[in-house]
A and B are shown apart, each in its own frame.
Chain A
Amino acid sequence: MDSVRYDHAGSAVTVPLALKILIAGGFGAGKTTLVSALSEVRPLQTEEVLTDAGIGTDDLSGVEGKTTTTVAMDFGRITINDDLQVYLFGTPGQDRFWFLWDELAFGALGAVVLADTRRLADCFPSIDYFEQRGIPFVVGVNCFEDTRRFDLETVRRALDLDPDVPMVLCDARDRQSGKLVLISLVEHVARQRGEPVPAT
């Protein structure tokens, strides 16, 4: 779609570049917690409207009179500098809301799939989704206090992950831990483009 360029009467208003990163994973894997830990603004929720007509199609005519329901999506923001912001979107946890993922994933830089070692299978659908669409992702293994720490290679085998998909142990409640997961993702994206970001 074409941007609408607007001459802001000569005033130097910069419209930042926003990068989208999706935070996915099964219900209760810590998506909301991670978004909250990383966001510089109070955690915001936005809602997308579901309708019972025209789901997945362009035809929404007549929907205005029908009952609808809403799906909440978490999002958070990290300002890198005046020109650059990172937006985090927590994906709706329920499988039947997959069609909302397509909008979230459009133009996304990549995704973090949070895995809960107590329910590893819950993150399979997220991994499948990003693999099928060629969206770069990393797996963050959320270390809940009451679970024994899994060996990452064991988790990798259980998830049948490609060897080049980074895996990071993390604590979704901890900002420093969460930021390492995001760094791992951005470095992974850069590597996939053949331009590794040097560690500094």
Chain B
Amino acid sequence: MRTEPPGPQHEWLDGDAGPVVRPYTLTGGRVRSAAGFDLVAFVLAGAGHDAAAHPQLPPEHRRLVALAGHPVSVAELAAELDLAVGVIRVLLGDLLAQGLVAVHEPPTGGDIPNDDILKAVVSGLRAL
């Protein structure tokens, strides 16, 4: 529990709400990414985009490129870097704009997941 709340007391900020932080320092104050990026969108670094080949990138960006050597979800990236999802989205927007990663959004549509997929999920779960 905080003993001295920063500034005026706010209904959102209390002991239950977690630490008070300034997570957008890493993004230079930018809070909006170019795209929304679903939590289960998959990020994949472009072929040949070795993080080591981009020494100009800030460390967090480099880690994202390194982790995206195989398809990895936005949620996992946030957990891996221990950063808020909103911050990860801004950083991914930077990498996307530079062509260093591709972001594959989950398909949306009435027939996804179709019956075959649901059957595969059930049999996969039974096999656990």
Q: Which residues of B contact A8 (CB under 8 A)?
A: 44, 46-47, 102
Least CB distance from A65 to B in Å reads: 7
Which residue on chain B has the smallest CB distance to residue A69?
B17
A67 with B36: CB separation less than 8 A: no
Give the A-B contact count at a CB cut-off of 8 A: 184
Q: Which residues of B contact A6 (CB under 8 A)?
A: 44, 46, 102, 104
A20 with B39: CB separation less than 8 A: yes
A107 with B38: CB separation less than 8 A: yes
**Interface set of B (CB-CB < 8 Å, partner A):** 6-7, 10, 12-13, 16-24, 29-32, 35-36, 38-40, 42, 44, 46-48, 70-71, 73, 75-76, 78-80, 82-87, 96, 102-108, 112-113, 115, 117-126, 128
A81 with B17: CB separation less than 8 A: no
Interface string of A36-67 (1 = CB under 8 A from B): 00000000111111111001000010011101
Q: Taking A47-B78, A70-B23 as given, write out 13 further A-B residue pairs in contact, using a Cβ cutoff of 8 Å, ordered by the A residue number.
A: A1-B36, A3-B103, A3-B105, A3-B107, A15-B44, A17-B117, A45-B79, A49-B85, A65-B29, A68-B22, A69-B18, A70-B18, A197-B115
Main secondary structure of the interface of A (DSSP, over half): mixed
Complex Cα distance, B116 from A17, in Å, reads: 13
**Is there a chain B Cβ closer than 8 Å to A182's Cβ?**
yes
**Is there a chain B Cβ closer than 8 Å to A18's Cβ?**
yes
B102 with A78: CB separation less than 8 A: no
